Amino acid sequence: MNQAQRHEFFATLRATNPEPTTELNYTSTFELLIAVILSAQATDVGVNKATDILYPVANTPQSIIDLGVDGLKHYIKTIGLFNSKAENVIKTCRQLLELHKGEVPDDRDALEALPGVGRKTANVILNTVFKHPVIAVDTHLFRLSNRTGLAKGKTVRDVEDRLMKVVPTEFKIDAHHWLILHGRYVCIARKPQCDRCVVSHLCDDFRRQQKKLNKA
């Protein structure tokens, strides 16, 4: 995919969804941070079901600490890896209070120093809340980027670095959300829905398939 095609790719996604955002439910930066920590190896739908019950009871660092690990587990036990996630969330809440006055920092190093927060989670917070032009690469983005030829790479970090180089500046703020939504609902893993994909004509994989059909 060349530069002009990448511009058309994102311009088309923008035309279909001008204001993309996360599907996680949240009303504060802290709530989003906890939701993203919980979302590792879990669906946004599953996380929302848990946090919709948790947040009316506890949605600040101190109130979650007050629940304790076992108390928190009661609310998130439907989410995968809930035991380790509960411990990390409690530790993160303590660190936020001790080092950041209870506020979520607008800083990559500080975010990644929080228990349960890796590069992807930090990127989600930096982009969604603080509007940094960064791109969080999950399994959906990794698959879509390689399949379409948008940004090929053997590792998640390879794809992230490549995306940061090739995504036109005007689209970088929203690129993460467009790509994750497209990968989640259209460019799915087993049977990509090319027939309803608005950017299929720009996709390397789709064009290869079309050439094979034409030769057959």
The residues carrying an active-site annotation are: 120, 138
Alpha-carbon distance 62 to 10, whole Å?
41
Structure-block tokens of residue 84: 């380790």
Q: Count the Cβ atoms, other than its own, within 10 Å of residue 191.
A: 6
Q: How far is CA 77 from CA 1, 51, 85, 153, 197, in A?
A: 43, 11, 10, 35, 36
